[in-house]
């Protein structure tokens, strides 16, 4: 299955994508991860995009498209993939249509208050970057990374007023993209069942729900 996943910051997009990928046996392809690796490796590509990435600006479409065309032509993409962070513009979506056929676009719908609550309780490992949550995904030992023993910290921009601002920016960015895919009839809207009660659901439960929804979608 060829999947694109869309969701605001704090929707769990990264977590769900990697879990879904291993459940479905397809690669999880994150443009953010690819770009950060390129920058770290000091490649020519990495050098040319580092100023965009470090300032949070979009990398030019032709660069992103070329990188993705190369990545999607690899053997492991034959049976499908989950794209996380691509496409981000209609121009990229049109390019993607020319090189591949997307089956479904998973659109994660999360109420703003849930995002604010989640992100303001998010913890990140200073050493390995692993992500925890004081409420939904607490580390075994308070303040310490399960994976590497590193120190956990809270991101500077994980503050309510900044989070609301980031949500607003995301909504503006994603609107034309969603409209593009809705016209094609391939958007699978995923709503958090428990958001009505105001409680959050675990990543495991959410992934199970998404897998069920995908089965129905492909029928």
**Annotated catalytic residue 88:** yes
56 is a contact residue toward ligand ADP (CB under 6 A): yes
Interacting residue with Zn ion among 150, 170, 203, 205 (CB under 5 A): 150
Q: How far apart are the first and last CA of the chain?
A: 13
- Are the C-beta atoms of residues 5 and 62 closer than 8 Å to each other? no
Interface stretch with ligand ADP, choices 28-36, 74-82, 188-196, 207-215 (CB under 6 A) = 28-36
In angstroms, give the least distance from the CB of 210 to ligand ADP: 19
Q: How many CA atoms lie within 13 A of 219 on its CB side?
A: 6
139 is a contact residue toward Zn ion (CB under 5 A): no
131 is a contact residue toward ligand ADP (CB under 6 A): no
**Annotated catalytic residue 126:** no
**Annotated catalytic residue 117:** no
Which of residues 105 and 152 has its CB atom nearest to Zn ion in the complex? 152
Exactly one of 36, 71, 164, 166 is catalytic; which is it?
166
* DSSP letters spanning 38-89: HHHHT-HHHHHHHHHHHTTPPPPHHHHHHHHHHHHTSGGGTT-EEEES---S
Element of type H or E holding 91? helix 90-99
Exactly one of 2, 13, 117, 118 is catalytic; which is it?
13
Say which entry of Zn ion, ligand ADP, none residue 185 contacts (CB below 5 to 8 A, set by partner kind): none
Say which entry of Zn ion, ligand ADP, none residue 150 contacts (CB below 5 to 8 A, set by partner kind): Zn ion
**Annotated catalytic residue 205:** no
125 is a contact residue toward Zn ion (CB under 5 A): yes
Interface stretch with ligand ADP, choices 82-90, 112-120, 144-152, 204-212 (CB under 6 A) = 82-90
Question: Which of 182, 164, 185, 186 minimizes the C-alpha distance to 174?
Answer: 182
Supply 122's token pair.
Answer: 């998010």
35 is a contact residue toward ligand ADP (CB under 6 A): yes
59 is a contact residue toward ligand ADP (CB under 6 A): yes
* DSSP letters spanning 148-181: T-PBEE--TT-SHHHHHHHHHHHHHHHHHHHHHH
Question: Which of 119, 126, 113, 125 minimizes the C-alpha distance to 159?
Answer: 119
- Taking the C-alpha atoms of residue 212 and residue 63, their distance in angstroms, rounded to an integer, is 35
Supply 80's token pair.
Answer: 């499908």
Residues in touch with Zn ion (CB under 5 A)? 125, 127-128, 130, 145, 147-148, 150
Query: So which residues are the catalytic ones?
Result: 13, 88, 122, 155, 166
Residues in touch with ligand ADP (CB under 6 A)? 9, 31-32, 35, 52-53, 56-59, 64, 85-88, 92
């Amino acid at each position: 299955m060829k999947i694109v996943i869309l969701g605001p910051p704090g929707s769990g997009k990264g977590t769900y994508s990697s879990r879904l990928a291993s459940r479905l046996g397809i690669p999880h392809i994150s443009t953010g991860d690819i770009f950060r690796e390129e920058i770290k490796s000091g490649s020519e590509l990495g050098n040319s995009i580092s100023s965009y990435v470090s300032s949070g600006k979009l990398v030019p479409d032709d660069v992103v498209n070329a990188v993705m065309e190369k990545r999607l032509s690899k053997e492991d993409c034959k049976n499908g993939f989950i794209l996380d962070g691509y496409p981000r513009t209609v121009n990229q979506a049109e390019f993607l249509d020319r090189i591949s056929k997307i089956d479904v676009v998973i659109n994660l719908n999360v109420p703003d208050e849930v995002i604010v609550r989640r992100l303001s309780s998010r913890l990140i490992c200073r050493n390995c970057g692993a992500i925890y949550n004081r409420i939904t995904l607490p580390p075994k030992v308070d303040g310490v990374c399960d994976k590497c023993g590193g120190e956990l910290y809270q991101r500077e921009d994980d503050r309510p007023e900044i989070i609301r601002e980031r949500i607003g920016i995301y909504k503006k960015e994603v609107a034309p993209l969603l409209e593009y895919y809705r016209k094609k009839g391939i958007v699978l809207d995923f709503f958090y069942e428990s958001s009505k009660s105001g409680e959050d659901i675990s990543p495991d439960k959410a992934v199970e729900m998404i897998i069920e929804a995908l089965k129905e979608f492909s029928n």
